[in-house]
Amino acid sequence: MLKFLHIENIAVIERTDIEFKSGFNVLTGETGAGKSILIDAINAVLGERVSKELIRNGCDNALVSAVFCDFDAQTLEKLNEYDISPDEDGNLLITRKLSLNGKGLIKANGMPITATVLRDIAQCLINIHGQHDNQALLVPENHLSYIDAIADNGDLIADYYSEFKNLNAIRKELRELEMDEDEKARKLDILNYQINEIETAGIKVGEIAELKNQLKIAESYEKTFKALTNAEYYLCGDDNTDGVLSSLRNAEKQLIISEAVSTEKLNEALSLLEDLRFEIGSFLNNSEYSQLNPDEINQRLDYITRIVLKYGGSEEVAIEFLVNASRELESIQMSDKRIIELSDLLDISTAKLVDLGEKLSDNRKAAAQSFEKQVCDVLKELNMPNVKFAVDFQKSKYTKIGCDAVEFVISANAGENLKPLHKIASGGELSRVMLAIKSVLLDKDPVGTMIFDEIDTGISGYAADKVAQQLRYVSKARQVICVTHLAQIAAVANEHLLIVKSTENGRTYTNVSSLDYKQKIYEIARIMSGTDITENLYNSAKELIDRSI
């Protein structure tokens, strides 16, 4: 649950600390006092996108911190996915810093996290229900999710979706293979030409570099041969003249006789010179070099380079192109056989998808019967005694979520036919239908905190009293925070928080305070009248509160 909220420099709130309690918490205050700002601040600390306009005028930064506690197993598992753990007191502190320069910072128990991670975690912490939720009820495409929640269809939907993807993959491959004969012939001609051209070239990795090296040798072979012959003469000498090696060996013999100086360095020099003589000899004795033809090498180099550039820019890429083209050619040549195989797989997958779709539909229809009754029961408790609520099922094409088109239909008054919710429901009725649905889904939603932002829109009198009692009932299973304008709802709260706006030195400030019993009476009386609080009005407010205790 949400235990503590700290806000700095958010719109008209310079700084405030709010402590929430378990059970039913209400927020009241004059219109424009900043109740919606609190919801914006909570959305911010849950990772939602916020505008820079939310930062208080004249400030560069804003900060929202929230402390959560009492986590269920699912929430702890979600936190563990990101290596986040509650502290030794069992608390989770989430802080979000907003900045005009866009360089915000989010931390969970001191560890930096991204907004994406925060949003994923927040789904297990708080559900905020406001006017946008009521509007979502008017969109039939959203109704199926409520039925699936009641039916516990998660695993079945996953199996269905897996088969749905498999079916589409088979269809895609079939479409790619079932080209017309002219297109197939054209593609075969192109592939055969490309394969033949690359194979004829006989490309090998490293050949271009080798050809360039050979060309360099061939173009300077005569000059190189003469220079190396001279070098060999100076190293080895001839029949009449000693070379460097012979002279060094003689020097080595004299050093050995003298025993005064080590021959180690001379041995090293002799070894290096012997290696050099061997390399020179290898080149001079290699007839391959003498037979190199610069024109032939140039011709081969130009040919290979042109093919390589045409098919990818390097020898490796050109060879890979050949492999892929060969596979594609084989695939087309084998396409008739593959088409038959895929057609059989398509039939199998279609039958499996239909079977899963029917199971999913049966589950939904069975769950809908229970859902209809439970929602009606709650709506009757919410002062809609003659209500009829049903789930209208229509068969649809197979999509990623099944083959059902679902729409909620309602008759709010006796004698009226069931009609789509979006055609007849008033704002007050929508609020009560949403509250009824949320109440029915309590056991399916493990989130510890539910925030209702002005769910009392469009209701008053006896209906408001019933909504208040339902919210109180919901708060027995989890923490409820409600922004309200109704005295009946505020009166039944366990914790009453008052939002007050004031002006000092030309600037606007908003403060939030917890009301004691007497303060709560005055606030309820203000909500009831909005004028001077008389003794009778005070007593009426007191009676309203006492009746709910």
SS (H, E, C) 480-507: EEEECCCHHHHHCCCEEEEEEEEEECCE
- What per-residue confidence (pLDDT) applies to 39? 86
- Report how far residue 79's alpha carbon sits from residue 352's, in angstroms, rounded to the nearest whole number: 37
Q: Where are the beta strands (DSSP E) in 186-300?
A: none
Q: How far is CA 389 from CA 246, 371, 468, in A?
A: 113, 9, 21
Of residues 334 and 59, more confidence is placed in 59
Q: How many CB atoms lie within 10 A of CB 323?
A: 11
Q: Say which range, 286-290, 383-387, 433-437, has the weakest mean pLDDT.
A: 286-290
**Phi, psi (rounded to 5 degrees) for 264:** -60, -50
pLDDT (average), residues 489-515: 88
- Report DSSP state, residue 467: H
Rg for the chain, CA atoms, rounded: 42
Count CA within 13 A, CB hemisphere, residue 286: 15
- Report how far residue 355's alpha carbon sits from residue 103's, in angstroms, rounded to the nearest whole number: 52
- What per-residue confidence (pLDDT) applies to 524? 92
Query: Does residue 287 carry a pLDDT above 60?
Result: no
- Report how far residue 83's alpha carbon sits from residue 108's, in angstroms, rounded to the nearest whole number: 10
pLDDT (average), residues 88-110: 92
pLDDT (average), residues 163-175: 93
Count CA within 13 A, CB hemisphere, residue 59: 21
Structure tokens at 301: 């180099």
- What per-residue confidence (pLDDT) applies to 406? 92
- What per-residue confidence (pLDDT) applies to 313? 87
Sign of CA dihedral 509, 515, 519, 523: positive
The DSSP result for 270-307, as a single string, is HHHHHHHHHHHHHHHH-HHHHT--HHHHHHHHHHHHHH
Rounded (10°) CA dihedral 401, 403, 408, 411: -170
pLDDT (average), residues 227-244: 83
Query: Does residue 18 carry a pLDDT above 70?
Result: yes
Q: How far is CA 117 from CA 124, 125, 127, in A?
A: 12, 13, 16
- What per-residue confidence (pLDDT) applies to 290? 59
Among residues of the chain, what percentage have pLDDT more than 70?
Answer: 95
- What per-residue confidence (pLDDT) applies to 38? 87
Of residues 458 and 477, more confidence is placed in 477
- What per-residue confidence (pLDDT) applies to 222? 65
Report the chain's mean pLDDT, rounded to a whole number: 87
pLDDT (average), residues 124-131: 78
User: pLDDT-derived band of residue 382, with 50, 70 and 90 as boundaries?
Assistant: confident
pLDDT (average), residues 58-73: 92
Of residues 138 and 324, more confidence is placed in 324
Sign of CA dihedral 304, 305, 309, 312: positive
Among residues of the chain, what percentage have pLDDT more than 90?
Answer: 40
Q: How far is CA 492 from CA 127, 381, 422, 518, in A?
A: 21, 16, 31, 15
Q: Give the residue range(s) of CATH 3.40.50.300 domains in the chain.
A: 1-138+426-516
User: pLDDT-derived band of residue 288, with 50, 70 and 90 as boundaries?
Assistant: low
- What per-residue confidence (pLDDT) applies to 399? 93
Query: Does residue 237 carry a pLDDT above 90?
Result: no
Q: How far is CA 22 from CA 1, 87, 226, 487, 493, in A?
A: 7, 20, 99, 20, 11
CATH 3.30.70.260 fits 1-138+426-516, yes or no: no
pLDDT (average), residues 89-95: 94
* The pairing of beta strand 105-108 with beta strand 507-514: unpaired
Answer whether 483's CB lies under 8 Å from 39's CB.
Answer: yes
The b-or-e profile of 6-26 (16+ CB within 10 A means b, else e) is bbbbbbbbbebebebbbebbb
pLDDT (average), residues 299-314: 91
Q: Say which range, 17-21, 132-136, 211-215, 411-415, has the weakest mean pLDDT.
A: 132-136
Q: Give Cβ neighbours of residue 260 (< 8 Å, ≥ 6 apart).
A: none
pLDDT (average), residues 267-277: 89
Query: Does residue 220 carry a pLDDT above 90?
Result: no
Query: Does residue 294 carry a pLDDT above 70?
Result: yes
Among candidates 129, 1, 14, which has minimal Cα distance to 66? Answer: 1
Query: Does residue 280 carry a pLDDT above 70?
Result: yes
Answer whether 243's CB lies under 8 Å from 235's CB.
Answer: yes
- What per-residue confidence (pLDDT) applies to 506? 76
User: pLDDT-derived band of residue 435, with 50, 70 and 90 as boundaries?
Assistant: confident
Rounded (10°) CA dihedral 201, 202, 204, 208: -30
* Residue in this structure with the two tokens 């039944």, named with its chain if needed: 492
Query: Does residue 398 carry a pLDDT above 90?
Result: yes
Among candidates 10, 169, 82, 130, which has minimal Cα distance to 451? Answer: 130
pLDDT (average), residues 412-422: 84
Structure tokens at 437: 């649905």
Structure tokens at 395: 């068969």
